[in-house]
Chains A and B, each alone.
Chain A
Amino acid sequence: MAITSSIDRLADRAAGATPPQMRHTVRGLSDRGIAWLFIAPTIVLLLAINIFPLLWTLYLSFTNFKANRIGREIKWIGTRNYERILADADIWETLQVTAHFLFWTIALQVLIGFTLAWLINRQFKGHSFWTTVIVLPMMLSPAVVGNFWTFLYQPQIGLFNYAVSFFTGIDPSSFQMIGSVNLAPWSIVIVDTWMWTPFVMLICLAGLRSIPDYIYEAAEVDRATPWRQFWTITVPMVMPFLMLAVLFRGIENFKMFDLVVELTSGGPGSVTELASINLKREAFEKWRTGYSSAFAIILFVTVFGAANIYVKALNRVKQR
């Protein structure tokens, strides 16, 4: 029994190894043919749904097109949209709001994320369980979570205001996180930091774990103080990882939309109107398609250019 079945299996394998007819047709495909056959669908899809629309945006940015008026003739107006954007005070304000958001979210996330990673790296009991717990907010839907944060931020009944008043004694109905011009920009920084600090933490943790023990041992032999070890070993060795984390957060937060739209929808007034939110208002509420296309192109070129310069700097840090 056992012998026949193993012989059967051997025969099967032999048959599988030398397939009949099929072989000629498949052999006809060279490696190069397979390579293109495999890669082409992806490229075609990206060309159709990413590059073609981008080129269309580029074209529209030189016209006075309005998407809510279909029949009207599209007029080529040269670079007038771009000139108007550069002279538009609202756009500069939007960029300032975005810069404030970018600076503070990244600063806080790097600071807290690195500290958390540094503590977790001491490998106390249960550290991997708690790491998983900390990571959870980052994977959730920003829109759904952002929407719920508006409930936490309610003056009077919201848990956030209650917690602040519990620890500081300030009357919970005396301040509004989302409703006030001064606090709203911080309310979005807080939620983004809550959500994305784990991202920076995970990358820093990978950086810390990549440092071999023997470097610290050598430093110990040289009687370097822990303070000195931290600044001459830990920080420089984690730096490439940290820079990578900043790159990812920078790109993501530069185009931030979902979380903040659901939190404040740009308000009050326009104090939390990030670039993407401004773009959405111009394109889908005021229907200034040409104008907003030009702004979209400016934003894309900025991210793309900045990311390229940054990656070059990152590579230089890595080589050191």
Chain B
Amino acid sequence: MIGGTKTAHSIVEPTPLAKRVSGVIIIIYALITMVPLAWIFATGFKTPSDSISYPPKILFDPSLEGYVNLFTTRTRQTPEYMATLPPPTTWYDELVRSRKMVIAGPSKFGERFTNSVIIGFGSTFLSVFLGTLAAYGFSRFKVPLKDDLLFFILSTRMMPPIAVAIPIFLMYRNLGLSDTHLGMILLYTAVNISLAVWLLKGFMDEIPREYEEAAMIDGYTRLQAFRKVVLPQAMTGIASTAIFCLIFAWNEYAFALLLTSGTAQTAPPFIPTIIGEGGLDWPAVAAGATIFLIPVLVFTILLRKHLLRGITFGAVRK
């Protein structure tokens, strides 16, 4: 018993000290990489003057001014005019008036965020739908030039977005698709489909063919077997692929910057333009960034088991 069962492993098992030292280094690194994110979060709750104080304030009185500024547009007024107004009815009215301003209306952030949601979910649904079909086709059937087609699908990802942005810009202008939700959904679907096909093909390859064959012997047609046997088995894979597509569409910037300006603009090109008096209103920018980044943080934590697979297009599966 003494050492007997452990020998085989204890040779390669690191010593407790080595483990502890590596743990400490990793935790220090993790904490340092978290600083910029923590700073975004903290800045969102600062007042503009706290946000640009020197030395940088770690402890401060939290304020919702950044969030109020993010969602509203405000105008500066004279004290005489302010005196004629009825007393403020809400806490945000009061906050804005304490800065000698009144709320003029909602800002564009809500719209831009909604655009991100519509375009993100729309393109995710479409790329996962098309990707599932194509992946099943590639996974189960003899397709002529299969490897070439798969490589072709992957190679579309190597293009710099700006390289195809010029003709897409011209094409969309002719078709009336520029600055529309539909145009952006189609474009993001085309960008994400390579990821969807490659990931889903990997997941489908892992489902034994015998399941469908058994179902088909029982009288299912090919399509029924696909729907009732393969799809339920592939559900985890489909869900994680969907989250990856959603994150990529959510984060996309280059096309959004070049092809949208108003109605269909998503949040990434918009957030940096949230301008306050005298340059950028950092608490408002940070508030916008916080709201925009939190869904991705949640999804990343949900995805952590499939993360490696997603970021390598299924090349590394752990």
B292 within 8 A of A: yes
Please determine whether B161 and A133 come into contact, CB atoms closer than 8 angstroms: no
User: Which of B133, B254, B307 is close to A38, meaning CB atoms less than 8 Å apart?
Assistant: B133
Please determine whether B130 and A147 come into contact, CB atoms closer than 8 angstroms: no
With most chain A CB atoms within 10 A of its CB, the pick from B33, B169, B223 is B33
Please determine whether A120 and B247 come into contact, CB atoms closer than 8 angstroms: no
A49 within 8 A of B: yes
B272 within 8 A of A: yes
Interface 9-residue window, one of A52-60, A102-110, A176-184: A52-60
- Is the interface on chain B under 10, 10 to 19, 20 to 34, or 35 or more residues? 35 or more
Interface 9-residue window, one of A78-86, A87-95, A273-281: A273-281
A116 within 8 A of B: yes
User: Which of A27, A119, A132, A202 is close to B22, meaning CB atoms less than 8 Å apart?
Assistant: A119
Q: Kindly identify, within residues 46 to 83 of chain B, every residue whose CB is under 8 Å from any CB belonging to chain A.
A: 52-56
Enumerate 27 A-B pairs (CB-CB under 8 Å) in ascending A order.
A36-B137, A38-B136, A41-B133, A46-B194, A48-B190, A53-B168, A56-B170, A119-B26, A124-B20, A125-B19, A134-B26, A137-B33, A139-B247, A139-B299, A141-B251, A141-B293, A147-B271, A152-B36, A244-B315, A251-B157, A251-B158, A254-B160, A276-B254, A280-B254, A300-B163, A304-B155, A304-B158
B25 within 8 A of A: yes
Q: Kindly identify, within residues 286 to 319 of chain A, every residue whose CB is under 8 Å from any CB belonging to chain B.
A: 289, 292-293, 296-297, 299-300, 303-304, 307
- Interface membership of chain B positions 119-134, coded 1 if the CB is closer than 8 angstroms to chain A and 0 otherwise: 0000000000011011
Q: B residues within 8 Å of A by Cβ?
A: 8-9, 11-12, 14, 18-20, 22-23, 25-27, 29-30, 33-37, 39-40, 43, 52-56, 130-131, 133-134, 136-138, 140-143, 149, 152-153, 155-171, 186-187, 189-190, 193-194, 197, 218-224, 228, 247, 250-251, 253-254, 257-258, 267-269, 271-272, 280, 282, 285-286, 288-289, 292-293, 296-297, 299-301, 304, 307-308, 311-312, 315-316, 318
Q: A residues within 8 Å of B by Cβ?
A: 16-19, 23, 26-27, 29, 31-32, 34-39, 41-43, 45-46, 48-54, 56-57, 60, 67, 116, 119-120, 122-127, 130-145, 147-149, 151-152, 154, 156-159, 162, 172, 194, 198-199, 202-203, 205-206, 209, 213, 216-217, 220, 241, 244, 248, 251, 254-255, 257-258, 261-262, 275-276, 279-280, 283-284, 289, 292-293, 296-297, 299-300, 303-304, 307
